[in-house]
Amino acid sequence: MTTESRLTDDPRRTEGFDPRHTHLDLLSSLALVRTFADDQQQALSAVDAAVPALSAAVEAALPRLERGGRLIYAGAGTSGRLGVLDATELTPTFSWPPERAVALIAGGDRAIREAVEGAEDDQDTGRTDVRGALVGPGDVLIAVAASGTTPYVLGAVAQARAAGALTVGLSNNPGTPLLAAVDCPVLLDTGPEVISGSTRLKAGTAQKIALNIISSALMVRLGKVYGNLMVDLRATNTKLEARALRLVMHATGADESSALRALNGAGGKVKTAIVMLKLSVGSAEAERRLALTGGHARITLEDC
């Protein structure tokens, strides 16, 4: 079989050739930008079609996280870097403990910034990395691979399932081994790329959206949001400190000085400050009441 025939026969849609873009290299900058922008819309359509599967994944993952489990991400290349990004952002946004958001990427930390050739082809390393992360029955593994055939990711899934973890799989191709191997398969069918095989384009966009949806929905269900306010954010810089103050003022109707006083009394915890102001209690009492409801501000306030 020739190289050309092997490429032609590849059943993965993400490896296909889109006949609409055979003259891509002749387009003007304006036409190029329009082409790429239009094609990205398919990422949104793919995510929209996957809403039921994404919802099922959230429902399945929630009980394990409520019991103290972790989110474990596994991927290679672009998919792996998107997992690292999603895991990293959970701490400043929701005060999610960093040790409960573990990102595994083929090639290790070096692969975050540069390509590590061949790392994704090693299934045994995927297994080893999952074992090294001490993945167990209380954890949730989110495996991401555009192709759905990446050996590193399949190894990670196999080991996670053997350890009793819940497994979620995101793939941009139907009928792939990854979707068959996980408990919660999520198909993001984005089709061929404008630049053939470059899944950092709309396949990656769909993965980014899906990861955002899964983790954000879980954080809302876990009480990290009050209304649509990120009341568990970690104010680690001047911008976030100002945001925390605005959140307390918005949620309670308090003036700036009262909100700032409550925030300081709460050690910078937005949720605690809101409960303090709304129930006219001290920080210790606010913390006690929040603890009784698992940290859900709305339930805490409605129970009183």
Q: Are strands 71-75 and 184-187 parallel, antiparallel or unpaired?
A: unpaired
Residue 4 has a pLDDT of: 44
Q: What b/e readout covers 142-174, taking b as 16+ CB neighbours within 10 angstroms?
A: bbbbbbbbbbbbbbbbbbbbebebbbbbbbbbe
Residue 303 has a pLDDT of: 76
- The span from the CA of 211 to the CA of 54, in Å, is 9
Architecture of domain 238-302: Orthogonal Bundle (1.10)
Query: Where do the structural domains in the chain lie, given as residue ranges?
Result: 46-221, 238-302
Q: How far is CA 108 from CA 113, 120, 132, in A?
A: 10, 11, 12
Residue 118 has a pLDDT of: 80
Report the topology of domain 46-221.
Rossmann fold (3.40.50)
Q: What is the pLDDT along the chain (304 residues), one digit of tens a residue?
A: 344 444 456 788 777 778 888 888 899 999 999 999 999 999 999 999 999 999 999 999 999 999 999 999 999 999 999 999 999 999 999 999 999 999 999 999 998 888 887 888 899 999 999 999 999 999 999 999 999 999 999 999 999 999 999 999 999 999 999 999 999 999 999 998 888 888 899 999 999 999 999 999 999 999 999 999 999 987 778 998 999 999 999 999 999 999 999 999 999 999 999 999 999 999 999 999 999 999 999 999 997 6
Task: Name the residues annotated as catalytic.
Answer: 89, 120
Residue 17 has a pLDDT of: 75
- The span from the CA of 154 to the CA of 187, in Å, is 16
- The span from the CA of 40 to the CA of 57, in Å, is 24
What 3-state DSSP class applies to 127?
helix
The stretches of the chain forming alpha helices (DSSP H) are: 3-9, 29-49, 51-66, 77-94, 123-132, 151-162, 177-181, 202-221, 238-252, 256-265, 270-279, 283-292, 297-302
Contact (CB, 8 A) for 225 and 219: yes
Q: Are strands 140-144 and 71-75 parallel, antiparallel or unpaired?
A: parallel
* pTM, to two decimals: 0.90
Burial class (CB in 10 A: 0-12, 13-18, 19+), 240: middle
- The span from the CA of 236 to the CA of 161, in Å, is 36
Give the end-to-end CA distance of the chain in Å, rounded to a whole number.
73
- The span from the CA of 139 to the CA of 136, in Å, is 6
